[in-house]
């Protein structure tokens, strides 16, 4: 997957679409503990609570009020117009990048609108709730169907493709992420080691701000279209 520009996105890019982030004052982790809903142990201990947490987020995402915003659309335009190739690696489990038109896209933490059977690995599209005692349509196992989401302590998806893309890129851009979660927060160091120019676009400095060569702070719907405009006009 050779792309001149690799872009990492986090919850901040979807904030202006109405989806909450995680670590802002009104974020998801302000009202619920990661250990209670976003680990394999939590799922084993209390599947009712974990399924309810993701069913509520899935219902929120399929709400017609939630639409891609100008930042998602700007990245899709950059992919269409930039000849050197663009890859978006998102930590987000929403589908707003796809709906804005991004195609070269990797969901490293999974997708809220998919389910996976922990018994047989079958991945299916899912817009409705997942029931705790659901039987897998492929293998029949009961109670093993879970959100297709990477929990804490689980290996993120597409790590080999992401490492290869970062090793070959000339510009690495991070948008709307606090730099709190690894391995995603370490990608900027991999990009610097590969000689890429590194840019942080965020509402405020992230926890890995000092790893970036360039910084632009502001709301994603304002700074991302402006950044894309600069790149497409030829200036970096
Ligand atoms: C793994 C899916 C290993 C679930 C998520 C020390 C070092 C290295 C690793 C660790 C460590 N200690 C613990 C670990 C492991 C752990 C980790 O990093 N923990 C953290 C808390 C310290 N990592 C893991 O467990 C990962 N796996 O390491 O596996 C392994 C090895 C071998 C074999 C097996 C396993 C897995 C991590 C994935 C967890 N799942 N998501 C779900 O969504 O429910 S991660 C979770 O945080 C979120 O989903 C999100 O994807 C991710 C990052 O959050 P952000 O997207 O950055 O959101 P946040 O709210 O934090 O920030 C938003 C930013 O936006 C803010 O900066 C804000 O200013 C900005 N913003 C707000 N509004 C706007 C804006 N910007 C622009 N415009 C706006 N309008």
Query: What separation, in Å, do the N-terminal and C-terminal C-alpha atoms of the chain show?
Result: 22
C-beta of 109 in contact with ligand 1 (< 6 A):
yes
What is the position in ligand 1's atom list of the atom closest to the CA of 219? 78
Q: Which pLDDT score, from 0 to 100, does residue 64 have? A: 97
Tokens of 233: 């006009």
Q: What is the percentage of the chain residues whose pLDDT exceeds 70?
A: 99
**Residue 202 near ligand 1, beta carbon < 6 Å:** yes
> Would the pLDDT of 236 be above 70?
no
Q: What are the contacts of 202-206 at 24+ separation with CB within 8 A? A: 202/12, 202/174, 202/175, 202/176, 202/177, 203/12, 203/15, 203/176, 206/174, 206/177, 206/178, 206/179, 206/180
Centre of ligand 1 from the C-alpha of residue 85, in Å: 26
Residue-wise pLDDT tens digits, 135-163? 999 999 999 999 999 999 999 999 999 99
Nearest CA residue ID for atom 29, ligand 1: 155
Residues 6+ apart with CB under 8 A from 225: 70, 71, 73, 74
pLDDT at 200 over 90: yes
Q: Is 82 an annotated catalytic residue?
A: no
Q: What is the average pLDDT across 50-57?
A: 98
Q: Whose CA is nearest to atom 22 of ligand 1?
A: 181
Is there an atom of ligand 1 within 6 Å of 204 CB? yes
What is the pTM assigned to this prediction?
0.97
Residue minimizing CA distance to atom 32 of ligand 1: 155
What are the C-alpha distances in Å from 190 to residues 169, 180, 195? 10, 16, 9
- The pLDDT of residue 47 is 98
149 within ligand 1 shell (Cβ under 6 A): yes
Is the CB of 23 inside a 6 Å radius of any atom of ligand 1? yes
Mutate to test the pocket of ligand 1, among 176, 218, 219 (most ligand atoms within 8 A of CB): 176
pLDDT at 169: 98
Q: Is the pLDDT of residue 33 over 60?
A: yes
Catalytic residue among 73, 97, 107, 109: 109
- The verdict on the CB of residue 220 being under 6 Å from ligand 1 is yes
* Exposed e or buried b per residue across 45-54, where buried means at least 16 C-beta atoms within 10 angstroms of its C-beta: eebeebbebb
Q: pLDDT by residue (tens digit) across 86-139?
A: 999 999 999 999 999 999 999 999 999 999 999 999 999 999 999 999 999 999
pLDDT at 2: 83
């Amino acid at each position: 997957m050779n792309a001149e520009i690799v872009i990492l996105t986090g919850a901040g890019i979807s904030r202006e679409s109405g989806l909450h982030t995680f670590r802002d004052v009104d974020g998801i982790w302000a009202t619920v503990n990661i250990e209670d809903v976003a680990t394999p142990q939590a799922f084993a201990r209390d599947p009712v609570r974990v399924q309810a947490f993701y069913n509520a987020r899935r219902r929120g995402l399929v709400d017609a009020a939630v639409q891609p915003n100008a930042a998602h659309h700007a990245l899709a335009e950059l992919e269409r117009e930039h000849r050197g190739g663009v890859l978006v690696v998102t930590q987000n489990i929403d589908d707003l990048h796809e709906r804005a038109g991004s195609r070269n896209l990797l969901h490293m933490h999974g997708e809220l609108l998919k389910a996976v059977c922990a018994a047989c690995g079958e991945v299916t599209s899912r817009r409705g709730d997942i029931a705790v005692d659901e039987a897998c349509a492929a293998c029949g196992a009961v109670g093993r169907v879970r959100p297709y989401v990477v929990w804490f302590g689980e290996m993120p998806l597409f790590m080999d493709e992401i490492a290869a893309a970062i090793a070959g890129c000339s510009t690495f851009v991070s948008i709307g992420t606090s730099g709190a979660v690894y391995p995603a927060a370490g990608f900027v160091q991999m990009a610097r080691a590969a000689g890429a120019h590194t840019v942080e676009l965020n509402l405020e400095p992230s926890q890995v701000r000092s790893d970036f060569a360039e910084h632009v702070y502001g709301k994603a719907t304002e700074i991302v279209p402006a950044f894309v405009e600069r790149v497409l006009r030829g200036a970096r």
